[in-house]
Amino acid sequence: MNMNSQSEPDNLIKPFSKPEKGFFFSSGWIVAGAGLVALLIFYLSGRKETDHSQKSEPAVKTQESGEKSDQARRKELIAYLQQHPDDEFAHFQLGELIKARAPFQALENFSHVTPRHPRYYEAVEAVAEIAMEQDLHLQAKPALFELIREYPEESRFQEKLARLLFKAGDSERALKYATRSIELGANQAQNYMLVADILRQAGRTSEMSGPLKQALYLEPELFEAHLNLAYAALYTGDLESAEREARWCLERQPASIISLRYLALINRNQGEMEAAVAQVDQALLIDPQDFESLLLKADLLIFQRKGQQAYDLLKPFYAERQTDRRFLSALARAAGLSGKREEALELQKKNQALIKEDDLKPSSLQSETVEETRFRQRP
């Protein structure tokens, strides 16, 4: 398993996915606990109220009447806009009313609000939010840039743009805005996690530990920060720190496959192959279909010259993984090692065919322009 791989699957902290968290101490669990208590109170009070169910009717009615009034207001605004299609405030109001239910229509309404209108930047912010939620990067980006131009000291817009650019793979610019948002006062652990994520995407894994340590300073029990710190330390060869962090994670979540895999990688990098196999076997006990663990196990077997075993482990996945270059490469190595030379060659050719011209390491420096300077031949 190459830790440089762009397609590194252990993408632990996708900013838009739910992260793994510490069991007892994370803020998420505190919120969840509070929610549970509230639910319990609600349940108990509900039981008391079952005999007096009529008492809750007004609340329902209020909600219903609110919905009705919204609906009525919506109808009114639509009717009004048919008569006054240029009324920007009506468009703004309608956009606000419908943005949750009909985001695309809301976008259309907000787009009618022009810079002359006093609520213009609220409309732009709404556009940015809806566009980000709907993955409309092309609309979200200019909206956020405009907000940053107007409110250059507002950290949340910088952060949002950073997240958007990160999601779009523009890590260089994402890093600039994520860093700026922190300079402007954003001081949540997640702000530093974002910086660490971007650095990883940019192939600057060796720089991740700084922001991760900042995140842990703010939120010492943040599980994904510990897990990423293990990864960063593993990448740079600080196996002691990597092991400490991975073990911390495993203590909190004994079923954390990623932690087990990291421990296997640490063992492997220390030259302790049998211990590495034991760790990865433990991960496979938890989830026998975990592809990354299977790949790592195959890798360990290949190093130990157990080519046939590695081949038998990988081959069943060929049909579903035949466009995964890391898989093809591993299977080719296993095939070659077990004497299946023709198959190894075919697999390597397949891998080669899948390499795209632009498929370069993130650390490679891309040019915007390539000019050919022309000089007169010297006499």
Partner 1 sequence: MISFLSNSSTVCFLLRVWRELICVGCLAMFFCGFPVCAEEKQSEILFQDVTAASQLTFQHKSPLTLKRHLHLMMGSGVGWLDFDNDGFPDLYCAQGEEWQTAKNTQRDVGMSNRLYQNQGHSQFQDVTAPAGLIDFGYSMGITVGDYNHDGFDDLYVSQFDRNLLYCNNGDGTFTNTSQSAQADDPGYGASCTWADLNGDGLLDLYVVNYLEIDREQYPICSRKVDGTRVYFVCHPRYVRGEYDVVYRNLGNGTFLDMSKKAGLHSEPARQGLGVFAADFDHDGDMDIYVANDSVANQLWVNDGQGVFTDQALIAGLAFNRSGDREAGMGLAGADYNGDGQIDLFVTNYYGETNTLYRNEGALFFLDVTEETGLAAPSRVRLGFGASFLDFNNDGWEDLFVTNGHVHDRLAQLGKNEPYEQEPQVFLNQGGARFLDVSKSAGTFFQNKQVGRGCAVADFNRDGLADLAVSHLNGKLVLLENRTVAAGQCVSLKLIGTTSNRSGIGARVELTADSRKLTRYRRGSSSYLSVDEGGILSGLGKSQVPVSVKITWPQGKTEIWSGLQPGGRYTLIEGSSDSRDLSQLQQ
Positions touching partner 1 (CB under 8 A) are 1-5, 172, 175-176, 203-207, 234-237, 265, 268-269, 271, 273, 299, 302-303, 305, 325-326, 328-330, 332-333, 336-337, 341, 344-345, 348-349, 351-352, 355, 357, 360-378
Residues with Cβ within 8 Å of residue 291, at least 6 apart in sequence: 9, 317, 321
Phi/psi at 31 (5° precision)? -65, -45
How many angstroms separate the CA atoms of 94 and 114, rounded? 15
- When the beta carbons of 73 and 341 are compared against partner 1, the nearer one is 341
- In angstroms, give the least distance from the CB of 83 to partner 1: 48
- In angstroms, give the least distance from the CB of 19 to partner 1: 25
- In angstroms, give the least distance from the CB of 364 to partner 1: 6
Q: How many CA atoms lie within 13 A of 238 on its CB side?
A: 16
- In angstroms, give the least distance from the CB of 291 to partner 1: 14
- In angstroms, give the least distance from the CB of 189 to partner 1: 22
- When the beta carbons of 184 and 273 are compared against partner 1, the nearer one is 273
- When the beta carbons of 117 and 204 are compared against partner 1, the nearer one is 204
How many angstroms separate the CA atoms of 121 and 151, rounded? 10
Tell me the C-alpha to C-alpha distance, in Å, between residue 162 and each of 48, 176, 314: 49, 8, 38
- In angstroms, give the least distance from the CB of 102 to partner 1: 40
CB 27 within 8 A of CB 219: yes
Task: Assign 311 to helix, strand or coil.
Answer: helix
- When the beta carbons of 91 and 326 are compared against partner 1, the nearer one is 326
- When the beta carbons of 6 and 187 are compared against partner 1, the nearer one is 6
- When the beta carbons of 132 and 330 are compared against partner 1, the nearer one is 330
CB 293 within 8 A of CB 283: yes
Q: What is the DSSP string of 133-192?
A: HTT-HHHHHHHHHHHHHH-TT-HHHHHHHHHHHHHTT-HHHHHHHHHHHHHTT---HHHH
Closest CA to 191 of 170, 160, 221: 160
- In angstroms, give the least distance from the CB of 10 to partner 1: 14
How many angstroms separate the CA atoms of 3 and 205, rounded? 10
- When the beta carbons of 130 and 302 are compared against partner 1, the nearer one is 302
Closest CA to 146 of 98, 184, 111: 111
